């Protein structure tokens, strides 16, 4: 919990500074790359969280991996290193992206389907999300064959489950109750 609060504070400070320097979009790209790389690399997470490794080694590893990063991103890594907060870099990156999307009025809609969305369905989902929320959205598609068909749409805290598996479970519950 304390790590999450600290990550939010660092992300807010970075967003404020990047807005001031008109670099928020570039920083958002850096943060997206960092968040994705850290979440997908078990070895990188191990390096960041290792209490044995010196923080200067951790900083060197991060700067070597993200050598094309913006100067503000490099400054963030320096500050996290100085404050011995390098392990929360992934969380800072995630919080920055969330705050950036909030600032720009963009929300992420996650659509879970049994098969990949085509361009026509993606456009329909975007239109429906904009109609329901009045905000621009980005659609991410998760594929889960266990839902059999239909879709599960999640926008913020709201979820709409129109999957075949959900309908079958409802029928099963109805028959077991009667």
Question: Which residues are CB-neighbours of 12 under 8 A, at least 6 positions away?
Answer: 99
- Residue 11, pLDDT score: 95
Report all structural domains of the chain as residue ranges with CATH numbers, in order of start: 2-102 (1.10.520.20), 106-177 (no CATH)
Whether 147 has a pLDDT exceeding 90, the answer reads no
Q: Write out pLDDT tens, residues 12-36.
A: 999 999 999 999 999 999 999 999 9
Whether 1 has a pLDDT exceeding 60, the answer reads no
- Residue 175, pLDDT score: 87
- Residue 102, pLDDT score: 85
What's the whole-number mean pLDDT along residues 55-63?
Answer: 91
With CA atoms as reference, report the closest residue to 13 among 86, 81, 79: 79
Q: How far apart are CA 67 and CA 151, in angstroms?
A: 40
Give the position of tokens 């790209």: 29
Report pTM.
0.71
What's the whole-number mean pLDDT along residues 131-150?
Answer: 84
- Residue 113, pLDDT score: 87
Whether 177 has a pLDDT exceeding 80, the answer reads no
Share of the chain above pLDDT 70, in %: 98
* Cα separations in angstroms, 16 against 24, 99, 123: 9, 10, 33
What's the whole-number mean pLDDT along residues 153-168?
Answer: 84
- Residue 178, pLDDT score: 64
Q: Write out pLDDT tens, residues 80-129.
A: 999 999 999 999 999 999 899 888 888 888 888 888 888 898 888 888 88
Q: What is the pLDDT confidence band of residue 59, given thresholds at 50, 70 and 90?
A: very high
Cα–Cα–Cα angle for 160, 139, 117, nearest 5°? 85
- Residue 4, pLDDT score: 85
């Amino acid at each position: 919990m304390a790590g999450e609060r600290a990550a939010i504070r660092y992300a807010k400070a970075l967003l404020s500074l990047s807005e001031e320097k008109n670099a928020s979009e570039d920083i958002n790209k850096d943060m997206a790359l960092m968040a994705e790389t850290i979440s997908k690399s078990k070895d990188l997470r191990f390096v960041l969280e290792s209490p044995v490794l010196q923080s200067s080694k951790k900083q060197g590893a991060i700067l070597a991996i993200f050598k094309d990063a913006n100067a503000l991103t490099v400054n963030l890594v320096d500050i996290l290193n100085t404050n011995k907060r390098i392990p929360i870099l992934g969380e800072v990156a995630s919080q920055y992206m969330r705050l950036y999307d909030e600032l720009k009025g963009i929300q992420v809609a996650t659509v879970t389907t049994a098969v990949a969305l085509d361009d026509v369905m993606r456009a329909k989902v975007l239109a429906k999300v904009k109609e329901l929320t009045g905000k621009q959205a980005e659609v991410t598609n998760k594929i889960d064959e266990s839902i059999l068909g239909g879709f599960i749409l999640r926008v913020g805290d709201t979820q709409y489950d129109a999957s075949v598996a959900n309908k079958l479970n409802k029928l099963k519950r109805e028959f077991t109750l009667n």
